[in-house]
Amino acid sequence: MAEELKNKEKLIFNATLDLINSIGFHVSSMSKIAKLAGVAPGTIYIYFESKQELVNKLYLYIKTDIASIAFKGFDESQSVEEGFKTIWYNVAKYKKKNIKEAMFSSLCDITPMIEKGWEQKGLELLEPLAKLWIRGQKEGIIKNVPMQLLYAFSMSPLSYLISEHQDKNIKLTKELIDHSYRIAWDSIKL
């Protein structure tokens, strides 16, 4: 029974991803999500009190998934540049492999779709990256600007590249990803 519940929750998450990515948050009703997920409309309310709670939980689920991949192989003893490179390439790999999740996460980053408390929980998952940047600023390696600027210029462009790859306007080859990394690093280093 518990496995069936998890499967239904996954179906609901996947349907929510598909709908929000294609038609947006406001148009994605619970009934449309249920229909696409292949579950009865009332079933969604077993797991989520409201669409807002569903979207908040999906956001945190995806941010947790991204963080679990982003920090693989990262060690605080690495140099700032090597640590950033490890994290950046891990995020790039995740986003290329998980396009729907990457697009949803990007949408959440640029719209007021997620409630503040949930957004804060998502940001806390990126704490190792923030600590790395703070260390880099103290060591005179990273520009002394707010974390939001560091993120905007080094990590956010990945979202644009993934979108362009999804739309088949570019192909994310190893060479393009390597160029993108160098541009990201150059944008934040002193």
Q: Residue 6: give the domain boundaries.
A: 1-48
Of 48, 63, 87, the position where a domain reaches its end is 48
Distance CA 166, CA 22 (A): 13
Domain with 89 in it: what CATH number?
1.10.357.10
Residues 166 and 112 in one domain: yes
pTM of the model: 0.91
Verify that 37 and 96 share a domain, yes or no: no
Do 91 and 108 have their domain in common?
yes
Together in a domain, 6 and 37: yes
Q: Specify whether 148 is located in the same domain as 179.
A: yes
Instruction: Say yes or no: 89 and 117 in one domain.
Output: yes
Whether residue 148 is found in the same domain as residue 167: yes
pLDDT per residue of the chain (190 residues) written in tens, 0 to 9: 345 557 899 999 999 999 999 999 999 999 999 999 999 989 999 999 999 999 999 999 999 999 999 999 999 999 999 999 999 999 999 999 999 999 999 999 888 899 999 999 999 999 999 999 999 999 999 999 999 999 999 999 998 998 899 888 999 899 999 999 999 999 999 9
The number of distinct structural domains making up the chain is 2
User: Comparing C-alpha atoms, which of 128, 91, 11 is closest to residue 58?
Assistant: 11
